[in-house]
Amino acid sequence: MHVVGVARPEHLRNVARLRRELMRSRHDVSLHLVAPAPGAGKWANINAALADEPPADTDWLLIVDDDIVLPRGFLDRFIATAEAFGLELAQPAHAFASHAAWDVTRRRPGVLARRTRFVEIGPVTALSKATFGTLLPFPDLRMGWGLDTRWSAIAAEHGWPIGVIDATPIRHLKPVAAAYPRDAAIAEAEAFLDGRAYVTREQAGEVLAEYR
């Protein structure tokens, strides 16, 4: 299990809690929570971390934000559920108290997981080894809006099942775009998606199957 994320100085206490929870796993966890390079966006920092420590010899790549709270025993249950339902790209659902940008990612009681047409870029995203050759390295984006609608379309093109794991809901502590200008994120997304296939917002809300 290869875990990568950007650890900002103002979130170091939360990062320490995050690190402790991830290292409780029975998996062999290679953890790379890196300080942001001056002037670099999130995805440039993620790519740099992956270049220094390639994830080629692992079954899963987990990308984590530094402002999240994970439930106890998160990693083992999350990966086991994703593998049980054959997902190649997955994210944990948002708990009811979490900040969330998409209704489809909000936890649904009584459901273990859902197959969807969309998996978002954060705050936690898991990519299986089958996707590495296509999705890595990531585009050199700062905020990354639009990347998730793009890779969701790529997943459909390749026939990769993707989805949301309701069994392991996480909390995102801050609203989306709390640390950067929303208008800039929208402009970046529009420029990135121009001429590329992507999943529309209506399509992103579709649930293809529920697993109980």
Q: What does the domain layout of the chain look like in residue ranges? A: 2-211
pLDDT the model gives residue 177:
59
Beta-carbon count within 10 A of 101 CB: 16
| Rounded Cα distance, 60 and 62, in Å | 6
**pLDDT 10s digits, 18-28:** 999 999 999 99
DSSP assignment of 46-114: HHHHHHHS--TT-SEEEEE-SSEEPPTTHHHHHHHHHHHTT-SEEEEEEPTTS--S-GGGB--TT-SEE
Residue 105: both structure tokens together = 């990612």
Terminal CA-to-CA distance of the chain, rounded, Å? 26
pLDDT the model gives residue 41:
87
Closest CA to 152 of 194, 206, 84: 206
With beta carbons less than 8 A apart as the criterion, state whether 162 and 114 touch.
no
Encoded amino acid at 149, one letter: T
Q: What share of residues in the chain are helix, strand, coil (percent, to 5)?
A: 35, 25, 40
pLDDT < 70 stretches in the chain: 177-179
Residue 78: both structure tokens together = 């999350």
Give the homologous superfamily in CATH for domain 2-211: Spore Coat Polysaccharide Biosynthesis Protein SpsA; Chain A (3.90.550.10)
Q: Exposed, middle or buried by CB within 10 Å (0-12, 13-18, 19+), for 35?
A: exposed
| Strand duo 30-34 + 60-64: pairing | unpaired
Peptide bond before residue 161 is cis, with ω within 30 degrees of 0: no
Cα atoms in the 13 Å half-sphere on the side-chain side of 94: 20
pLDDT the model gives residue 66:
95
pLDDT the model gives residue 46:
95
pLDDT the model gives residue 178:
64
